Structure 1
Amino acid sequence: MTQPADVASVTNLLERGTASEQELRRLADLAATLPTSELLYVLRSVPSNQAAILYRVLDKDTALDVFEDLAPADQADLIHALRSSEIADLIEDLDPDDRAQLFDQLPASVADRLMRGLDPEERRMTTAVLGYPRDSIGRYMSPEVVTLHEGSPVREALARVRGRIDHAETIYLLPVVNDSRQLRGVVGLRRLLATEPDALVGSIMREASSAPAVARREDVARRFLADKLLAMPIVDDEQRVVGILTFDDAVAIMEEEDAEDAARSGGAETFAGSYLAAPIWRIVRSRIVWLLVLGVSAILTVQVLELYEARLEQVVVLALFIPLLTGTGGNTGNQAATTVTRALAVGEVRVRDLPRVVWRELRVGAVLGTVLGAVGFGLASLVYGLPIGLVIGLTLLSVCTMSAVVGGLMPLVARKVGADPAVFSNPFISTFCDATGLVIYFSIAAAVLNLA
């Protein structure tokens, strides 16, 4: 019995180079013992030229399975390293929605050439998907959908399903349409099989949960998963069925959206492709813009410190508490922003709830500030005296209250102006709260300590 190869052995062989026929045979033998998940790991962790060498030694079925599981950006990198004849076979075997996402990652000239190589029906379906905006659910639906007519007997419906079973994206939930292809309902395959052959499809269909093809992909995917659907018909402006969204596509959309939100909350952008195989410049590009923006905004904090430099010279001990106060304000704002952003995403909060969110975060911030302020007052008073303790306690109360309100408010403002709430990310909120918190801190210190 052949023992599974070690991933490290395959990677090392690729790194050494596989120019000879003997080395290629050895690579093929090693790759044949690896499961698909391990092959995907290797392809995502080596440069595209090495990935192409490994890909060429895979058998056809394994190669197709692996290619379909790669992210569109990784597929594009691999295509650039493969020969034209190999690419043509890959593109032809992809589903139209997967093909459209791949074309988005390729230069226009390459995508056009590949499109011309498709047979007319595949080209028509791919063009239909590409006709929708990139952020719409139409880009992620499959046009390979089996529809049933509401006036058809069940026996004819089952015959239609059998005739198209090899080309359908799914048959477990089937849209029911009228003569104009307008959506009338849906019927499950189980119900269809359990019904008398002479019964009409319209008599057993149920109400459909559908979505317009131009709707935002994230909104549709969240509703899809929240309703625990198997599939969802996608319709045009006249309610005609143009495609179907399946569970795996909805999950993929949410994984991509969550990754984007997580990156932005950390002050970065997602980058196409896998981390280990991505060129350094691609990772740098995903981070540099936010670092520049945050670096410029941090100048506000420096200017505030310069403005209150004279007061710091009068009471030097005030400088010791700056990291504590700015850190607490930033963390409080981040917590509020994260909570409200999630509530927006899952539909628990809407823009019209802004006054309620502000009032709620005001109270939450005040309670947090009271607790932290009491602790800060007690500890600072013991070490530095009652006046300093009072300054620290009042500042923590004020900063926590302000930061919670700002953190809860910014995602709603972003949604109102049509921006992504995640853009108002944690580093941005931290920088804002740092500058504002310092103004509050030195203002309270001036009032309590009678500083000029």
Structure 2
Amino acid sequence: MSEDEPGDELTRLVERNDLTGVRLWLAEHPPYEIADELSRMDSALAIIPFRLLDKDRELEVFEELDPVHQHEILLGLRGAAFSELLEEMDPDDRARLIGEAPAKIAARALAGLSPAERRMTAALLGYPEGSVGRVMTPETVVLHRDLTVGRALEVVRAEGAAAETVYTLPVVDDGRRLAGTVRLSDLVVSDDTTEIKDIVDILVPRVRATEPAEDAARLIQEANLVALPVVDSEERFLGLLTFDDALELIEAADSEDIARQSGASPVAGHYVAATVVRLARARSVWLLLLIVAATLTVNVMQAFEVTLEQVTALALFVPMLTGTGGNVGSQSATAIVRALAVGEVRVRDLPRVAWKEARVGLLLGLMLACIALVIGTALVGRDIAVVVAASVVAICTWAAVIGSSMPLLARRAGVDPAVVSAPLVSTLVDATGLLIYFTIARTVLGI
């Protein structure tokens, strides 16, 4: 067996009911690898190695799983094992799990928590879905701005074990309003008599709990932060968004964007574990919409049927022109969706973006038109070659403008820009590109 397929061995061990072999395999692999292999397995099989994990590693592996696989594991646990696992989870991870769980699992999970953990989880679930409040951790070490460094270090030692992170420490005033943050490294190297207010970073970015979680995660990435403070409308400190949670948010957002840009709905969980029906369902809705939209192209062809009958050679270049226009439009749409995601462009940049992409499309069109002119002249003669070349320039320019504008218009309308996916742009450009082509043909050829 090759070294890059460790999960095959685990599956075989489970199927042979070799529990000793399963324990040895689990002991030799880190939690993230175990979680990945459990995600690939059928849920009925995955619960077996999970139950064989040591208590200390069980939680580590469980928190590495996607929520959909966590739900499957929970369904296989009974009684105290179910409650103990949830009780030990970090509040933000637990809130995410319960927020995405079926109602039956969510009710059972909340009922099994201790009163303190239930209140903490309920507070996080009270924030809007998709907000940073849902994914922040309230388990932090909070320092008062009037403390000395020596006293602050004592607080960190006393409370740090229960906190999710101590590398970034929020600093507050008497009203628990955020004054800034201080790094643990700064505390360690400072004199014990130094006051916290003298070393606090008052310019650290912060976000409101109701703001989108993805935006907060991108901010952590841009500002190179270990954790980002989360506050309420009155600047009172509520919790921290940690960098590991931010990475998961960015990964999930990017995966969703990629799925939508390919003309499919995102599929939660591991691809290998997803059923054929589930994958087909995720893609079918978009394909149905696109095939309906593609009837626009048929209608255009029908409208110019007389033109095609008079000059049948025009039909030879229809696939080339629609394909070229669709590709240019898809490239522009993909570039702008990505730029929106990382904050490089904003909705108000629409005129500037459209003008830039129009010039890019024009330049691309001119380069491709030279090739089209040579090929067209050799195949069907100079007149039609001129039509094709002029159409390539116009279609490429138009496609670049459409491809770049639609994601920005979607954002302005409150729609995920990734929904305006490359296949949708390509389909729209196909129909409008044919209108451009036949209009130019009629003008140049006089038909």
- TM class, shorter-length: over 0.9
Q: Matches of 1:52 and 1:77 in 2, distance apart?
A: 8
Deviates more, 1:130-139 or 1:304-313: 304-313
Q: Matches of 1:267 and 1:401 in 2, distance apart?
A: 23
Show the 5 A alignment for 1:49-128.
49-128=44-123
Contact 1:358 1:405 in 2 (8 A): yes
Contact 1:185 1:205 in 2 (8 A): yes
Instruction: Say which SS state the counterpart of residue 244 (structure 1) adopts.
Output: strand
Aligned AA (2:348): R
Contact 2:71 2:105 in 1 (8 A): no
Q: 1:4/1:416 Cα in 2 relative to 1: closer, same or farther (>3 Å)?
A: closer
Q: Matches of 1:330 and 1:84 in 2, distance apart?
A: 56
Contact 2:32 2:64 in 1 (8 A): no
Q: CA deviation at 1:284?
A: 2.5
Contact 2:67 2:101 in 1 (8 A): no
1:130 paired to 2:125: yes
Show the 5 A alignment for 1:424-435.
424-435=420-431
* TM-score, normalization by structure 2: 0.95
Q: Matches of 2:181 and 2:294 in 1, distance apart?
A: 55
Q: CA deviation at 1:375?
A: 1.4
Instruction: Say which SS state the counterpart of residue 169 (structure 2) adopts.
Output: strand
1:141 to 123, 127, 136: 136
Q: Matches of 1:325 and 1:67 in 2, distance apart?
A: 51
Q: CA deviation at 1:30?
A: 3.5
Aligned AA (1:184): A
1:48 paired to 2:34: no
Contact 2:142 2:172 in 1 (8 A): yes
Contact 1:329 1:403 in 2 (8 A): yes
Contact 2:136 2:239 in 1 (8 A): yes
Q: Matches of 1:105 and 1:138 in 2, distance apart?
A: 15
Deviates more, 1:130-139 or 1:5-14: 5-14
Instruction: Say which SS state the counterpart of residue 160 (structure 2) adopts.
Output: coil
Contact 2:369 2:389 in 1 (8 A): yes
Q: Matches of 2:158 and 2:4 in 1, distance apart?
A: 40
Contact 1:176 1:183 in 2 (8 A): yes
Deviates more, 1:42-51 or 1:308-317: 308-317
Q: CA deviation at 1:256?
A: 0.8
1:204 to 199, 206, 210: 199
1:335 paired to 2:343: no
Instruction: Say which SS state the counterpart of residue 239 (structure 2) adopts.
Output: strand
Q: CA deviation at 1:4?
A: 12
Instruction: Say which SS state the counterpart of residue 310 (structure 1) adopts.
Output: helix
The CA RMSD measured in Å over matched residues stands at 1.8
Q: Matches of 1:218 and 1:10 in 2, distance apart?
A: 35
Q: 1:136/1:198 Cα in 2 relative to 1: closer, same or farther (>3 Å)?
A: same
Aligned AA (1:194): V
Provide the identity percentage. 46
Deviates more, 1:327-336 or 1:108-117: 108-117
How many pairs align?
444
Corresponding residue for residue 294 of structure 1: 290
1:9 paired to 2:9: yes
Deviates more, 1:275-284 or 1:87-96: 275-284
Unaligned runs of 5+ in 2: none
Q: CA deviation at 1:437?
A: 0.6
Deviates more, 1:53-62 or 1:256-265: 53-62
Q: 1:5/1:310 Cα in 2 relative to 1: closer, same or farther (>3 Å)?
A: closer
Corresponding residue for residue 304 of structure 2: 308
Instruction: Say which SS state the counterpart of residue 87 (structure 1) adopts.
Output: helix
1:41-97 deviation digits (Å, cap 9, x = unpaired): 321111111111121122222222211111112111221233233221211111011
Unaligned runs of 5+ in 1: none
Q: 1:191/1:107 Cα in 2 relative to 1: closer, same or farther (>3 Å)?
A: same
1:218 paired to 2:214: yes
Corresponding residue for residue 366 of structure 2: 370
1:379 paired to 2:406: no
2:190 to 172, 179, 195: 195
1:360 paired to 2:363: no
Corresponding residue for residue 25 of structure 1: 20
Contact 2:127 2:134 in 1 (8 A): yes
Q: CA deviation at 1:358?
A: 1.7
Instruction: Say which SS state the counterpart of residue 358 (structure 1) adopts.
Output: helix
Corresponding residue for residue 398 of structure 2: 402
Corresponding residue for residue 280 of structure 2: 284
Contact 2:136 2:230 in 1 (8 A): yes
Corresponding residue for residue 261 of structure 1: 257
Q: Matches of 1:7 and 1:352 in 2, distance apart?
A: 49
